[in-house]
Structure formats: structure tokens, C-alpha cells
Structure 1
Amino acid sequence: MSLARRLHLSERRELRFVRGLQTVIILVLGLGLWFGNVGVVVNAGVGLIATFVPTYLERSHRIVMDAGLVLWITAAMFLHALGTLPLPGLDFLSPYQAVWWWDHLTHTFSASLVAGIAYATLRAVEVHSDGITLSPAFRFVYLLLFTMAFGVVWELLEFAIGEVARLSGTAGVLTQYGLDDTVLDLMYDTVGGLLVAIFGTVHLTGLSDQLAARLDARSTKR
């Protein structure tokens, strides 16, 4: 069963949800531009672009994502963009600053996306290559290790960007709140990877099959 069917999402309802979340991201981007908040602009802008990746893949490469997957991507970008915006109801602090669980939620969402991409790519290569056969246990460990490794790279990137911003006296785009925060981030990254490894792989089969078909087509052309 596809993720969209499990969520009882028709194509029309999925489109409404996605467009609604994209509209909020555009609003966040506009507010960031209005108030000159570089962090909000960059995070909302990148997030907005990411929400159009499924449309690009469908139009340019004929890779059609399940409606639930599109909503999954858009929701992750929405939560991250909104999390950077100072809100009056939070004493003009951002949800990342004022809501203790917001960072954990977004890290879990983002890590699940990373794990999903990793699984779809791995399975596509496995289906495409006759000489590669991977056991479920290997896939499980691979997803966890890949997600954790990506999380470490992300934390290093956050630290580097923060240091550059501090030394140059400019506004930071990404913020790191210390070692304890880093450890918690990596823990919730692992949770996101676990969720995909246990529950999510069945919903990514269609996407990985399409990627494998693209690989087969390229091999045939050669």
C-alpha cells in the first residue's frame, strides 16, 4: 500500500496540503526579506526550492513520487522554515529557540528524508545490478550508519557556518547550541533513520523501482 493511501490522501487533497504548506513557506520567506533576517531568508528559500524537487523530477525525468512522499518532503521543509521565524506569540523568539521539542522534531523529519533517499538509491542500484544482492539486515544497518554519518557532517557544517558568522560579524544562517544540543540532534537523527528502516522502506519501493528503470535505460543507451 502506498503512503498516500495509508494516509487516505487523494491526489487533489495532497496537492492542497502541499500548496498550503508552500504558501506558508513563501510567507515566511517574505517576512524574512521584509525584516532583513538573513537566516530566515536562506532557510525558507532553500526549503521552498526543495519542495519543488518532486515536480522537477516528474517533469524532467518522469519520476513520479507517491503523494504521501511529496507531502513528507514539504512538511519537513515547512517545519524547518517556520522554526527559524521569530513569532510574537513566543516573545519574538523562533520556535527553534522557544519550543524545546521543535529542533528534535525537525531533525527526526530531516533524518527520515535522508534515510529515505539513501534507501531508494541503494535499492535502485541493487535492482539495476544483477551482481548485487543485499540482505535486510545489511539494509537496516546501512540506513542507520548513513543517517548518522550525514548527521555528523551536518553538525560539522553548522559549527563551521556558525564560526564563520561569528568571526565575520555577520548573521548566522545555522545555529549550534553546544555539545549537548549536538548529541541530542544526532540521537534524533538516529530516530529518523530507525523509523524509515522499520516502517518506511515499503513506501519507497515505487520510487526506487523508477530510479532503477532510469539506470537500466541509461545502460541500454550505452
Structure 2
Amino acid sequence: MNAVVAGLLFALVAATLLVLAVAARRGNGAAMVNAAASLVVAVVAIVVASGFQFDGGQFVAPELAVWAAVAGFLHSVGMLGPYDSVWWWDHLTHTVSGTLLTALLYAAIVVTVDGAWSDATIAAATVALSLLAGVFWELIELAARAVGERFGIEPVLVHYGWRDTAYDLLFDLLGAVAVVALDVRAFVPIAAEAPGLTRQVLVWTTGAVVVGTVLLGAPLVRRVGEPS
């Protein structure tokens, strides 16, 4: 592994561990859960990236590990207070995580269709699926708030209102458009190593997002349709 990449990853993982320790000391359960989840995502990304090596052990896609670690760290820090006190922090984290998700989807779709679709169709499908995933995430935040209110516990994810949701989706969309417009194919080598598995993951993930969006969104639609 490149020494610079290794050092950066070590620093990011160590910083996220520090966030976890601070959250534990404050007794902030939501921040602890999010920091722990961010660490898991970062470690999985590092394992995946290091599992595909060539040229003397260099990462095929070091961007995956670094990108995931940065996104997780920013989100973990946000849970300690910046989400509430720094107006642009949520926009930053959504842009970083949104572009990461879109780049992964873009690579998966490119490998799955294998030239059967035009570049414009691939770009449109990628942006649409990325935005749908963003909607699904916002619904998960709403569900987390509802569960917290129902059982009187601190929600693991925090929903800051419909204005914030609109901004979140806007930055998700902007990040997705940027990825396809710049034709970011950093993760295509990883997806191409196992095209069959990539296809299955894409299909099952898409199905889960669609079904989850319908299930979580149906109660909201019914509530909006009810007479006041």
C-alpha cells in the first residue's frame, strides 16, 4: 500500500475512534452508534480495496477506502454537535457521502450493462437511483425519529425538518450529477473483478431501496391525504 494512502487511512480511522471515545465520555448514544457504524464502513472499504491488488500490492481503487473513511469521519463529527451548530456541515456530509454512493452505483451499472446502454442512459439511471437512495435515507431518518418519540429514547439518526430534507436531497442530486458529468469511474476496476456479483448486488440493493421506500413512505402519504 502506498505510504501516503496508508498514513491518511490510519489518521482517519484514529480520528473516528477518537470521536467514538468522546461520544462515549459524553454519554451520547446516537453519536456512539454512528461513529461505530462509520468505523465498520471504513474497515470494510479498506478490506475490499486491499483485496484487489496489482503492481506490487498497490490498491486498485484507494479512493474507495479514503472516500468512505472521510465520509464516515465527517458524519461522526457532525453527530457531536456540528450538525446543529454549523449550517453547512450537513450539506458537506451529504455531498461527500452522496458522491461516494453515486460513484459506486455508476461503476456497478457500467459493469452490469456492459455496453448495452448509451452513456446518457447510464448517467440518467445512476442519478435516478442515487436520488431514490437519498429519499430512502430521509425516510429512515423520519422512522428513527418516530421510533425515538414512541419509546422515549434518543433517535440514532436525527431528522431536522422538511426544509433540511429538501436541502439534503438537493445536495445528493448535485453530487450525483457531478459524478456522472465528470465520468468518475474510479470503482469500475473493483466492480469488473466480479461482474456477476456486482450485478446481483446492484439488483438486490435496488430492490431493497425501492421496497423500503414504498414501505416507509406509504404511512407518510396516507397521513398527508387525511383531512385536517
* Amino acid aligned to 1:56: V
Q: Which position in structure 2 is the counterpart of 1:174? A: 157
Structure 1 distance, partners of 2:197, 2:143, is 37
The DSSP-based 3-state class of the residue aligned with 1:47 is: helix
Q: Is the 8 A contact 1:76 1:106 kept in 2?
A: yes
> What residue ranges of structure 1 are gaps of 5+ in the alignment?
1-9, 86-93, 217-222
Q: Which position in structure 1 is the counterpart of 2:3? A: 12
Structure 2 distance, partners of 1:125, 1:214, is 10
Q: % of aligned pairs identical?
A: 29
TM-score (norm 2): 0.78
Q: Hey, which bits of structure 1, 4+ residues long, moved more than 3 A?
A: 61-65, 213-216
Change beyond 3 A, Cα 1:146–1:214: closer
The DSSP-based 3-state class of the residue aligned with 1:116 is: helix
Cα shift at 1:204: 2.8
Q: Is the 8 A contact 2:46 2:64 kept in 1?
A: no
The 5-angstrom pairing of residues 103-142 of structure 1 reads 103-127=90-114, 133-142=116-125
TM-score (norm 1): 0.80
Q: Which position in structure 1 is the counterpart of 2:144? A: 161
Cα shift at 1:58: 4.9
Cα shift at 1:210: 1.9
Q: Please say if 1:83 is aligned against 2:78.
A: yes
> What residue ranges of structure 2 are gaps of 5+ in the alignment?
54-58, 200-228
| Aligned residues: CA RMSD | 2.1
Cα shift at 1:200: 4.6
Q: Please say if 1:197 is aligned against 2:188.
A: no
Cα shift at 1:166: 1.3
Query: 1:26-79 CA deviation, whole Å, 9 max, x = no partner?
Result: 0111121222211111110000000011333256x6475422232111111111
* Amino acid aligned to 1:105: L
Q: Is the 8 A contact 1:40 1:81 kept in 2?
A: yes
